[in-house]
Amino acid sequence: MTSRPVLVYTLLRLLAFLVPLVILWFLFPGMPWVAAIMAAAIGASLSVIFLRRPREEVSSRIYAARQKRAKVTDDDVEDAVIDSAEGPAGSNPAS
């Protein structure tokens, strides 16, 4: 799995935050926390509106990677717990 879509999406998200931050920092020089909060809101809005395709590519890659892993069901876990609790085959602690 190549990480190009993840890198592109991450860089675009950073740009969507940093560009408004720099602009707002100059508009509100005495209140950097206001600039940061407004830049975060603007960056999130820009991301939702304009970065749908890169976000979906990253999401589908993450989903595909998760599906490749071995699936463990509840039955498998329960069987393993029961087998480990019984001990070796043929040994009966009650007798």
Q: Is residue 92 part of a domain?
A: no
Its pTM stands at 0.65
Q: Count of domains in the chain?
A: 1
- Residue whose tokens read 């717990």: 81
Is-contact 47 54, C-beta < 8 A?
Answer: no
Q: Is residue 10 part of a domain?
A: yes
Q: What is the pLDDT of residues 29-70, one digit of tens each?
A: 999 999 999 999 999 999 999 999 999 999 998 888 888 876
Q: Which two tokens stand for residue 17?
A: 């935050």
Residue numbers of the domain that contains 76: 4-85
Helix (H, G, I), strand (E, B) or coil at 18: helix
CA–CA separation, 22 vs 10, rounded Å? 18
Q: Is residue 95 part of a domain?
A: no
Q: Is residue 55 part of a domain?
A: yes
Q: Is residue 74 part of a domain?
A: yes
Is-contact 47 9, C-beta < 8 A?
Answer: no
